[in-house]
Structure 1
């Protein structure tokens, strides 16, 4: 297996382990000073990986369109319409997505993306580069999930 795909499995396993060990009662707690919740961050991780597959690799989006409203850039619970997916559904989708990435993107890592992605003047042009960047992004949101979890638990104490 490609080393990048191995990293996809490792990063997602850490994400899933952390989320499964988090008390579901705090998934929607928004501590003072925060504009989002654990559910928001978990959903955002999910939507970004779906975006890599759809917008940059040319595959069909796998998530319902309302996920963008709930978990896309700039979203927050105060703007939500409808009911976002529950904890178990998010966890199941994150787990299923890992296999999808490996099956669908794994053989295409060196292909040019449908469109390049730039960040701070650096251009990422292949599916593998974008997938690698998405792992960094997942780590950033895992840091936020850990911070939110600690803050929410301290509120309950």
Structure 2
């Protein structure tokens, strides 16, 4: 997922050539209702196109999950994590997969589903993009007891 900070607010973003399309579910001054390619108006999604130069920061958001003191990739980050209170991890390391009980999904892909309470922490990684790509990535550790609240804040 790509995010942009514009006028001190964080928005979901889409980059198209030299323009950035900001997206929000809250009506804001300067934002218009989304009209899709079929001409349908979405009155709960608002967009605004801005120049890259208008942004304060832009980044791609990725995650790692700490399980048994090791970093693993999450299979996906979405609403299902909150509803099911489970997260799936994956690895391509067959030795780690065998050691920690991952199951083989396909060649070189091993997966394990865990309850949120069984992971130690979530690592949020902000990777700078566009004109900000010279900056260092930011890593934030979200401890286990705060993970559910974190997902509630960013996903809903």
Q: TM-score per shorter chain, which class?
A: under 0.3
Higher strand share: 2
**TM-score, normalization by structure 1:** 0.24
Higher helix share: 1
**TM-score, normalization by structure 2:** 0.24
Higher relative contact order (CA 8 A, sep 6+): 1
